[in-house]
Amino acid sequence: MGDKGRPAPKGRVPATIYDIARITGVNPSTVSRALNQPGRVSASTEQRIREAAADLGYRTNPMARALPTGKTGTLGLLVSDLTNPVYFDLVRGAERVAREHDTMLVFADSQESAELERSTAERLQIAVDGLLLVASRLEDAQIQELAAAKPLVAVNRPVPGVPSVAPDVRPGMIEALDLLHGLGHRRIAYLAGPEASWMNGMRWVTAHDLAVDRGMSIAEIQSSAPTREGGTDAFAAVMAADVTAVLAYNDLVALGLLGACLEHGVAVPRDLSLIGFDDIFGADLSAPALSTVRCSWGDMGERAVAKLLGAIQDGDASGAELNLPTEFVSRASVAAPGR
């Protein structure tokens, strides 16, 4: 480990339990006990040890601890696209709970690629105590395989036998469709997201069923990507569909489509009503402000981490599913059909 010739690495060497042991005249094992199992050593020794530790500015070396215990004190969070504003709140919620439990969060981004997701998950898995898979593009079997190796919680996508946290789209969607129906819309469209996304399928099926229940026709329109560009690109297809309202896969797509509408002189909501999903940052900024089906991503992040920590602690492999309700947020992008 000699630093041969290299410019000397910076910083003083951090103190170890051996340093504390030497100073206080006890055995390293006693130091370890004093610091981690209060009451396991005599009060006076513990006192001396704690003081010495504070003096030296001792901090447990997580790597050294991880070796014998197998616990790294970190969780991995793998999302499909870190750039997507939806994940802001999720990340924040996750971070909050993790911090509360003295756990670090490692992030990674799979760039919407299943293959990259799998390899990243595998690499990540060895360095963490558990994995959070958000909006996974993997197949059920692949996820189950990962879950067999280490605790894993699927977010935004239920997987049989694997614990998961996901929004329940029905409540919000019912509100949305009731509103559209009440306003007189009869021909609507669903602007789809990525095919590999479970959530996309879920939204389409739910929207479809609810629309049919209400005697509305609903068309499915493909989009090139779950981004603003994807929404913009779909403009022509939406126009061709001859509908009075569009439910978009998410707010990003909806905002992209909204921009294209304005650009082409299609008035929203007079000529076309628009509803998004997720209530991301910025959804209330657009003109008109975007109506959307909201789910509390912050909550999802918190619940998911809590669940994962629980699974880690008691080796729980139960595949319990947790569903958080959604709600419709009514803004200016929806109105009665104009003609």
The footprint of DNA (CB under 7 A) covers 1-2, 13-14, 16-18, 25-30, 32-33, 35-36, 40-42, 44-46, 58, 60-61, 64-65, 67-69
301 vs 337 by CB, closer to a copy of itself: 301
61 vs 83 by CB, closer to DNA: 61
Name which of a copy of itself, DNA, none residue 314 binds, using a CB cut-off of 5 to 8 Å depending on partner kind: a copy of itself
User: Measured from the CB of residue 102, what is the shortest distance to a copy of itself in angstroms?
Assistant: 8
- In sequence order, the 6+-apart residues with CB closer than 8 A to the CB of 176 are 247, 275, 291, 293, 328
State the number of CA atoms in the 13 A half-sphere of 119 facing the CB. 6
Name which of a copy of itself, DNA, none residue 127 binds, using a CB cut-off of 5 to 8 Å depending on partner kind: a copy of itself
Name which of DNA, a copy of itself, none residue 72 binds, using a CB cut-off of 5 to 8 Å depending on partner kind: a copy of itself
Name which of a copy of itself, DNA, none residue 324 binds, using a CB cut-off of 5 to 8 Å depending on partner kind: none
User: Measured from the CB of residue 220, what is the shortest distance to DNA in angstroms?
Assistant: 48
Name which of a copy of itself, DNA, none residue 124 binds, using a CB cut-off of 5 to 8 Å depending on partner kind: a copy of itself
Contact status, residue 325 vs residue 169, Cβ threshold 8 Å: no
**Closest Cα partner for 77 from 62, 89, 95?**
95
β-pair partners for 294 = 327
3-class state of residue 42 by DSSP: coil
User: Measured from the CB of residue 31, what is the shortest distance to DNA in angstroms?
Assistant: 7
- In sequence order, the 6+-apart residues with CB closer than 8 A to the CB of 280 are 84, 85, 86, 88, 250, 251, 252
183 vs 289 by CB, closer to a copy of itself: 289
Q: What is the secondary structure of 60-78 as a DSSP string?
A: --HHHHHHHH---SEEEEE
3-class state of residue 93 by DSSP: helix
Contact status, residue 15 vs residue 49, Cβ threshold 8 Å: no
Q: Which two tokens stand for residue 215?
A: 């005697």
User: Measured from the CB of residue 288, what is the shortest distance to a copy of itself in angstroms?
Assistant: 8
Name which of a copy of itself, DNA, none residue 243 binds, using a CB cut-off of 5 to 8 Å depending on partner kind: none
3-class state of residue 5 by DSSP: coil
User: Measured from the CB of residue 59, what is the shortest distance to DNA in angstroms?
Assistant: 7
User: Measured from the CB of residue 127, what is the shortest distance to a copy of itself in angstroms?
Assistant: 5
27 vs 318 by CB, closer to DNA: 27
86 vs 128 by CB, closer to DNA: 128
User: Measured from the CB of residue 297, what is the shortest distance to a copy of itself in angstroms?
Assistant: 11
Contact status, residue 112 vs residue 80, Cβ threshold 8 Å: yes
Our CA dihedral for 132, 136, 139, 144, rounded to 10 degrees, sits at: 10
Name which of a copy of itself, DNA, none residue 25 binds, using a CB cut-off of 5 to 8 Å depending on partner kind: DNA
d(CA 112, CA 80): 5
Name which of DNA, a copy of itself, none residue 83 binds, using a CB cut-off of 5 to 8 Å depending on partner kind: a copy of itself
8 vs 339 by CB, closer to a copy of itself: 8
- CB neighbourhood size of 67 (10 A): 10
User: Measured from the CB of residue 12, what is the shortest distance to DNA in angstroms?
Assistant: 11
Q: Where on the chain is the footprint of a copy of itself (CB under 8 A)? A: 1, 3, 6-12, 14, 59-64, 66-70, 72, 74, 82-83, 85, 88-89, 91-92, 95, 99, 104-109, 122-124, 126-127, 147-151, 255, 281-282, 285-287, 314-317
**Closest Cα partner for 165 from 332, 301, 259, 59?**
301
d(CA 234, CA 23): 71
